[in-house]
Amino acid sequence: MNNSLANDLWRKIAGIDKRLQRQEAQEQMPGGNRLTLRPQLYAGRVGGVAKPTFVTLGAYAGYSFPIYSSDDEELFFRESIPGRWDGASNINAYAVVMLSAAEDVGDKFQFQLSWASHVTGSGALASAVTDVGTSQTVATSRSAQYSIYVLTFAVNYTVPTPDLAAGDHFGGRIRRIAAAAPQVSNEIILLDFYMTYNVNKIYKAA
């Protein structure tokens, strides 16, 4: 095959691939158009101490959380707000957790997401945070060891001044905090954490 034919074929394949990518994006994001990102989690003051405890279960791994008591039992993360976000809707964060041991139906546990944002490349960061707590009650048929729950945290984009915007530096901290009585008796394991954004653009660099 000569170079001209090869180049023409390559252009056609690339064009088909781009069309398929656009079609896949449209099919995966009908109406609501959501982008899901998983920020890198940092444990124990960015690895300085072995807390929260790292645990495994078969092919799964996570962090085991007691109730926070000024003892480094927390995770941190940072993320750049994606340019594809519509800039006019709240961002949702989700924590996938599981019971480390069997618990009584009706017992409770609670996690807290603390977050802050800053316009990247200007001014100075501040220590103030916005706290969002989510409580969960152990449900019937999901009280056995390793039962899974998904916790939702709403990030209100209008809290900071100015509002959250694409490209902002977003910092987060995850803790387990005390819940209303009766509380679970054992630690809760965090398996996954991700954030979803309503988007109105297929691609934007920021």
Place of tokens 């960015």: 46
Per the omega criterion (within 30 degrees of 0), is the bond before 182 cis? Answer: yes
In whole angstroms, what is the distance from residue 60 CA to residue 62 CA? 7
Q: Report residue 181: phi and psi, to 5°.
A: -70, 150
Q: For each of the chain's 206 residues, which pLDDT tens digit applies?
A: 555 655 554 554 455 455 444 444 443 444 458 788 878 777 655 455 678 999 999 999 999 999 999 888 999 998 999 999 999 999 999 999 999 999 999 999 999 999 998 876 667 787 889 999 999 999 999 999 999 999 999 999 999 888 999 989 899 999 999 999 999 999 999 999 999 999 988 765 55
What is the distance between the alpha carbons of residues 28 and 73, in angstroms, rounded to a whole number?
36
Average pLDDT, the chain: 83
Q: Please, which residues bridge with residue 109 across strands?
A: 136
Closest CA to 138 of 117, 110, 114: 110
C-alpha dist (Å) from residue 197 to 12, 39, 81, 131, 204? 33, 13, 9, 19, 14
pLDDT at site 70: 82
Asked if 202 and 25 touch (Cβ cutoff 8 Å), the reply is: yes
pTM metric for this prediction: 0.79
